[in-house]
Chain A
Amino acid sequence: MRRLDLNLFVLLLGAAILWVAPAGFGNYGLYVLSLWLVTAVAAMGLNLTLGYAGQVSLAQAAFLGLGAYATALMTAKLGLPWWLAFCASGLLCFAIGIGLGVPALRVQHHYLAFVTLAFATVVYLVARNEQWLTGGVYGLANIPRPAVLGDKLNGNLPFYRFVLAVALGLALVQWWILRSPWGRAFQALRENPLRAASLGVDVRLYTLLAFALGAAYGGFAGALYAPLVEFIDPAPFALSQSLMLLLMVIAGGAGYFLSPFLGALVGVALPEWLRFTGGAYLLFFAGAVMVLLVVSPQGLMGLADRAVQLVRERRRRPEPAAAPQPSEVR
Chain B
Amino acid sequence: MTEFLQLVLAGLATGAIYALAAIGFTLVWQTSQTINFAQGEFVMLPAILVLALVRFAGWPLPAAIAAAALLFVVIFGFGFKRIVVDPMIRHGVLPLAIATMALAILMREGAKDGFSAEAQAFPSLVPTGAVTLFGASLSLRDLSILAVACLAVLALHLFLGHTRTGRMMQATAQNPDVARILGVPVERMILLTFAINAALAVVASLLVSPIYLAKFSNGETIGLAAFIAAIVGGFNQVRGALVGGLLVGLVDNLSAAYVSASYRTAVPLALLVMVILLKPEGLLGRREERAV
Contacts and interface: CB of A to CB of B under 8 A. Distances in A.
**Complex A–B touching at CB under 8 A:** yes
Give the most central of A103, A106, A239, A286: most B CB within 10 Å: A286
B106 A286 contact: yes
**Which applies to chain A's interface (DSSP): helix, strand, loop or mixed?**
helix
A271 to B, nearest CB: 13
Interface size class of A (residues with CB under 8 A): 35 or more
B288 A103 contact: no
Interface string B106-123: 100110110000000000
Interface in A230-260: 239-240, 243, 246-247, 250
Nearest to B264: A125
A289 interface: yes
B187 to A, nearest CB: 19
A56 B98 contact: yes
Interface in B162-197: none
Contact of B106 (A115, A279, A290): A290
Interface residues of B, number: 41
A279 B220 CA distance: 19
Interface in B74-104: 84, 87-88, 91-95, 97-99, 101-104
B254 interface: no
Give the most central of B91, B103, B106, B227: most A CB within 10 Å: B106
Contacts of B281: 107
Interface in A263-286: 278-280, 282-283, 285-286
B224 A118 contact: yes
27 contacts: A56-B94, A103-B276, A104-B276, A106-B280, A109-B235, A114-B228, A114-B272, A115-B272, A115-B273, A115-B276, A118-B224, A118-B269, A118-B273, A121-B224, A125-B265, A129-B262, A246-B98, A279-B113, A280-B109, A282-B109, A283-B110, A283-B113, A287-B102, A290-B102, A293-B88, A297-B88, A297-B91
Given A125-B265, A297-B88, 5 more contacts: A106-B276, A247-B102, A247-B105, A290-B99, A290-B103
